[in-house]
Each structure stands twice: as C-alpha cells, then as structure tokens.
Structure 1
C-alpha cells in the first residue's frame, strides 16, 4: 500500500500471482471504504444490520428480565403471607 514493493515483488515473497496480490489489495481497500461508510452518521445511526438486531435482542432480554423479576417478587410476597390465609380445609 505504501509503494515499498511492487505487486510482482509482493507476489514473489508470498508465492502467489501478481493478480492475487492485486485482488488482496483491492479487497483491503474496499473493506476500508465500507468500514468508513458505517462509521458515518446516517439514517441507521451508523449501525450494521447485525448490530441493530443484537441491540433489539438485548432490549427484549432486558424487558423479559424485568418482567421475571417482578413476577418473582410477587411470588415471594405471596409465599411470605401464605400462612396468614386460611385454607379451605381448615374451616369448621
């Protein structure tokens, strides 16, 4: 990338063709452009589809945990006062 080596020299060093090195270079540059595009603010806030899906899943898990916590507290409170409630079999 810095021009220190020609494509032919890089290919010789790595035992591949010049075309392969050129393809590697092009893929590297293209990936860098894509990475830069994702970091720019846009309609999706710069998030990839995977990141948006994971954030949504995280929010859903937080909600499920909150609901389970509330349900557990209700059950615990009920268990604390179970002895105070007369059972049907204890009536005369």
Structure 2
C-alpha cells in the first residue's frame, strides 16, 4: 500500500506535532531537537509552549512542513521513545 493510501493528508503540508511531559527545564529544547532530526529548519515562530492549569505539565507544539507519512511516523516514534515525553500527538 502506498503512502497516499494510508493517510488522508496531502504532502507536503503544514502539520502540528505536539508532545507533552512534566514541566522541566529543557523539555521544549528536547522536543525541538527531536523534531529537527527529521524536519530541519524549525524556526522560533513555529514553536509554542503551553503549561497545564496546575503547572505540573507542559505541551510543546512544533508546526512543520511535513513531507511524508514515514517522516511523521519517525518523529512520533522518536518522541514516544524518550523518557521525558509522556505523550505525543
């Protein structure tokens, strides 16, 4: 099955990657570094950080220009494998 049959997305497209973890120093940098391994050239305006209401968690969203489903799969695989990242959406 080809990539186009496995997803409804049309590539290339803007795509938000969101990762969440405990509110610790360096989580934002970590998420951006992992995303940049697969989508080089992330600029500051493409990154947003939002703390949870209680301040225990933060979500980091990085908007990329996704090129393919395998690229997105690789990003999510690397994010999910890191011990500081609780969820990746």
User: So what's the TM-score if we normalise by structure 1?
Assistant: 0.22
Instruction: Determine which structure has greater relative contact order: mean sequence separation of CA pairs < 8 Å that are 6+ residues apart, divided by chain length.
Output: 2
Richer in helix (by share): 1
Choose 1 or 2 for highest CA Rg. Answer: 1
Greater percentage in strand: 2
Q: TM-score, normalised by structure 2?
A: 0.23
